[in-house]
A and B are shown apart, each in its own frame.
Chain A
C-alpha cells in the first residue's frame, strides 16, 4: 500500500484537474481588472477583468488536450516503428539509424525555433512534439519487442504466416503495454511542459486560453509585481501546471518501477528516470 501511494496521489491530482476543466463555465462573468479573490470571483480577476478561476479551468483543457495528443501520437508512431525495427531484420538498421539521427536533436530549442518560423499555435506544437518525440519511444520499445518476438507463441503465429504488423498488434505490443503506458505518461508530461513553455514565450495564438499564456500576460503586465496581484494572477495557473506535471510524474514513478524491464524485482523502489532517451 505504501509503495502504491505516490501513484494514487498522482492519479488523484490528474483526475482532479480533468474534473475541474469539465466544469469550466462556458460564459464566465467579467469583472473589474485586478480584483482580489472574493465574492463572485473566487480567485479574483486578471488585467482585463477575466475570472481567473474560469481561465485556469479552460487552460486545463489545452494542457490536457496536448498531453493526450502528444502521448498518443508519439507512442503509436514509436511503437510501430520501433516494433518493425525489432521484428523485421531488414528494416532494423535503417530505422534505428533514423531514430539515432533524430534522437540527438534537443526537442525544446527546436520546437521553439520552428514555432517561430511557422505560424505559432497549439496544433503546430503538437505536430512538432510528436514528430520529435517518437524516436525515444522507438528506442525503448525495440529491445522489448525483440525479446517478446523470441517467445514460442510468436514464433508459432509467424510460422502460420502472420505478417509483422499483425504480429505487433495482436501478439507483441499487448505484452509491452506496461512500458507503453509508462512512455505515454513521460510523453504527456513532456508535452504539457513544452506547451506551457511555448505559451509563456507567446508562441501560441493570442486568443488561446492556456496556462502558459495566462502567466505570460500576467507577467508582462507592469501592475502585476508592484502590487500583490501576482498572488492571484500568477500563482493559480502555476500551481495548476505544477500539479499536473507532478501528478503525471508520480504516476510515471509507479509505472516505471513496475514495468521497466531494466529494473530487477529487488529494486522496485528505484526512482523513475525522467530521461526519456535511451543512454547513448
Chain B
C-alpha cells in the first residue's frame, strides 16, 4: 500500500512541477504575454496595441499582479477545468483540445496496437531462433526501420499508397469529423496510413525490447529446468517464457506511449491529420499561447498517467519492482 501511495505522490509532484513550469513558460515567450496579444492582433489585421490598451490588458489578464498571485489564479482556474480561452479559435481551449485529443488518442492507440502486434511476435521469434538466418534478416530490417525518423516512413507510405496506388486518402480525417455520414469505414481509411506508419516506426522499438528481454529469459535457469523436464519448445515459450516477458514489457509500455505521442506529431504533420500535434503547430503559428499551454498540460498529464498506470500494474506483477520505486 505504501508503494502505491509513493508512486501516486511522485506523479502528483511531477504534475505540479510541470504545471508550474508550464505557467512560467509563457513568460519566456519572446516579448512576453502582452507582445503576444499585440502580435496576434497585427496578424488578424488590426493595429498593434496602444499604451492605454496595454494597460487595460495588463489589468484584464491580471498581469499587474505579482507572479505568485498569478500562479495561484492559474491553479484555481485549472481546478475548475478551465484551460484558458483560445485567442485564435475564439472558444474555450478545453473544448478544442477535447475535440482534437480524440483523434490523437485514436491515432496513438492504433499505432501502438500495430507496433505491439508486429514487433512483439517478431521479437519473440527472433529470440527463440537466435543466430539463425531469420533472426539476422529480422534484425537488419528492424535496425533500418529504427534508423528512419518517423516522418520518413510516413512520407514513404504517403507516396506509395496514397499518391501512386491511391488506395488511401491523401490527408485529413474528414470522415472522423462527421462520422455518421462517412461511417466507420471512412474513418478507418483516413486513419490507416498515419497509424500504420506510426506503428511501423514504433514496432522496431517493441521488437528490440521483446527480443532482448526474451534472450535474457531463455537464458534463465528455470527455462533449462523446463527443458530438462522434457518440455517442447512451444510449451516452454508459452507456459514459462511468455508469463515472464509480459510484465517486463508492460513496464516499458508507458515509454512506448510517450514516444508514440512524439511520433504522432510527425504522422499528423505528413497526413495533415487534425490532432493535437497539428493543433499545437496552429496555435504556435497564430501566437495562441494559451491554447498551447493547455495542450502542453493535457499531454503531460496523459503521459504521466500512463507511467503511473504501468508502475502500479507492475507492482501487482512483480514484487521486486515496488522495492525500487
Contacts and interface: CB of A to CB of B under 8 A. Distances in A.
Do A and B bind? yes
A97 to B, nearest CB: 9
B295 A200 contact: no
B14 A246 contact: no
Nearest to A220: B269
A267 B215 contact: yes
B205 A116 contact: no
Contacts of A267: 215, 219
Interface string B245-262: 000100110110011011
Contacts of B292: 113, 116-117
B301 interface: no
A104 B252 CA distance: 11
Interface residues of A, number: 42
Contacts of A114: 25
Contact of A271 (B163, B211, B289): B211
A241 B152 contact: yes
B195 interface: no
A117 B14 CA distance: 20
A215 B307 contact: no
A9 to B, nearest CB: 12
A220 to B, nearest CB: 10
Contact of B146 (A196, A219, A249): A249
A196 B149 contact: yes
Contacts of A234: 155
A138 B207 CA distance: 26
Contacts of B29: 117-118
User: What does DSSP make chain A's interface, helix, strand, loop or mixed?
Assistant: helix
Interface in A97-124: 101, 104, 106-109, 112-114, 116-119
Given A200-B269, A201-B265, A219-B270, A271 B148 contact: no
B231 to A, nearest CB: 23
Interface residues of B, number: 58
Given A108-B262, A200-B269, A275 B155 contact: no
Contacts of A277: 255
Interface in A41-94: none
B307 A116 contact: no
A250 B155 CA distance: 24
A225 B166 CA distance: 13
B30 interface: yes
Contacts of A242: 144, 147-148, 152
Contacts of A249: 143, 146-147
Nearest to A279: B251
Given A200-B151, A269-B131, A116 B284 contact: yes
Contacts of A109: 258, 261-262, 265, 299, 303
B143 A108 contact: no
A252 B290 CA distance: 42
Give the one of A107, A112, A193, A250 with max B CB within 10 A.
A112
A28 to B, nearest CB: 25
Nearest to A243: B147
Contact of B204 (A200, A201, A274, A279): A274
B105 interface: no
19 contacts: A108-B258, A109-B303, A112-B262, A112-B277, A112-B280, A117-B25, A117-B28, A196-B149, A197-B149, A200-B149, A201-B265, A215-B155, A245-B147, A245-B148, A245-B149, A249-B143, A271-B208, A273-B212, A279-B248
Interface of B: 14, 17, 25-26, 28-30, 131, 139, 143-144, 146-152, 155, 159, 163, 204-205, 208-209, 211-212, 215, 219, 248, 251-252, 254-255, 258-259, 261-263, 265-266, 269-270, 277, 280-281, 283-284, 289, 292, 295-296, 299, 303-304, 307, 311, 324
Interface of A: 101, 104, 106-109, 112-114, 116-119, 193, 196-197, 200-202, 215, 219, 225, 230, 234, 238, 241-242, 245-246, 249-250, 253, 267, 269-271, 273-275, 277, 279-280
